[in-house]
Amino acid sequence: MSSILKKGKREEIRLSDHFTATRLIRFVMPSIVMMIFTSIYSVVDGLFVSNFVGKTAFAALNLIYPPLAMLGGLGFMIGTGGSAIVAMTLGEGKRDKANEYFSFLLYVTIGVGLVLTVIGFVVLRPIAVLLGAEGEMLNNCLVYGWIILAFQTAFMLQFVFQSFFVTAEKPKLGLAVTVAAGLTNVALDYLLVGVFRLGLAGAAAATGMSQVVGGVLPLLYFAGRNNSLLRLTKTKWNKWVLIKTCTNGSSELMSNISASVVNILYNYQLMVRAGENGVAAYGVMMYMSFVFSAIYLGYAVGCAPVISYHFGAGNRGELRNLFWKSIRLNGAAGIVMIVTAQLAANPLMRIFVGYDGELFAMTRDGFRLYAMAFLITGLNIFGSAFFTALGNGGVSAVISFLRTLVFQVLSVTALPVFLGVNGIWLAVVVAEVLSLMVTAGFLAGNGKRYGYVNLSTEKTGE
């Protein structure tokens, strides 16, 4: 009878399980889809703004979005860094302590989000002016930015819960919440921008309301009785947990901040060399990059708590198993990604900017160069996330800092001198290649220390 029931309904996957490739893919798939839906927020905004409001508003959205995204990175830092600590604590068998840490980090997120909203309202205008916005573009930046800032706390909570749903062994519930948030964004964009023609204000309101769904509903779930590993409880100030979370998740924060800084630099280079069309073209590439990279990020978010759990429990054989399967899966995904991007470049770019022949050609050709980076992006993202999951935020931060800031700044500054606009599109490719060398060095150099290589005498279950 039990075997019949198992065939009718798949058994739940636990953090403590042994993971075959199929089981690992099943476990991380909700996180992958979750990250894809999260990336759709800005993509949908851009799609509606570009087609219904015009390329000036579209360029304004792309100009002001990077500094706004920096603030959301704090939520990602707390989620990834904190979930590693909570998962390790669960692996040690200390569930009450894990819930105490979890609750403390959520309350910190809410407090920080409220403070950042106030600060953001004050500094948004000077930041937009500093980026070069003026006239109609400046007004558009302010309208979009002020509305987004009003939902800052929900934005940060959404990123936090993306990691903690996995740690709570509820990745499917996390996926359901994110899908609901994504559908809310799409529906409201259609109504507010497409039907009622509210422009950038409508796009920002649609995104903000979707963030309420993704950030506030999970808060209500964990605050009540639930059958997950985590729930909100009484807690107290814990400086050690906060410092460890920030240190451990610093690589994710660094990635977010660096990406925003680099985007600003890209936009500056493009304004000089290609004007408004160049900024609009880069905006489309960023939207597509969000979706492709979301697959790699989703895998990293999904498998990180499993790695943390087995590391905390001292299961080195399973740690080795997870490491090598992840390397193979990310390598295979890279091949699929680059082929898909090249084949889909024409139809995808036409959806966004098909109304302008010159802009369409620039965007399509640029994306085909830019997309070559997708071949190895996943290995770099996993390498950084792997060290975060092991509690080594320092190594993770170095990889992210070099990958998302140093190598990209050097590339986007130097390559256009020799290759013009094509050098801007290829800058990310060069940066990913250099980063892979660093990532491989750290993975090889720390294998014995953490026990994910040279364990031939242990059973891994493969």
Measured distance CA(250)–CA(40) in Å, rounded? 25
The answer to whether residues 88 and 391 touch, using CB atoms and an 8 Å cutoff, is: yes
Say what the pLDDT of residue 6 is.
Answer: 44
Instruction: Give the pLDDT confidence score for residue 10 in this predicted structure.
Output: 59
Largest Cα–Cα separation, the chain: 72
Contact present, 77 and 297 (Cβ < 8 Å): no
Q: CA distances (Å), 75 to each of 67, 189, 206, 431, in order?
A: 14, 24, 20, 26
Element (H, E) at 336: helix 316-353
Contact call for residues 34 and 162 (beta carbons, < 8 A): yes
Please say whether the beta carbons of 264 and 408 come within 8 A.
no
Amino acid in the structure at residue 251:
S
Q: Which of 428, 412, 292, 422 is nearest to 366 (CA)?
A: 422
Alpha carbon distance 298, 326 (integer Å): 12
Stated pTM of the model: 0.72
Q: Which amino acid is at 68?
A: L
Which pLDDT belongs to residue 336?
95
Angle at 297 (CA atoms; ends 260, 75), nearest 5 degrees:
55
434 CB contacts (<8 Å, ≥6 apart)? 402, 407
How many angstroms separate the Cα of 177 from the Cα of each of 228, 235, 277? 15, 26, 36
Mean pLDDT per segment of 10 residues, for the chain of length 462 residues?
43 82 90 80 77 82 82 84 89 92 96 95 92 85 95 93 89 88 91 92 93 94 92 93 85 72 81 77 84 90 89 88 94 95 90 80 91 94 91 86 90 90 91 96 90 57 43
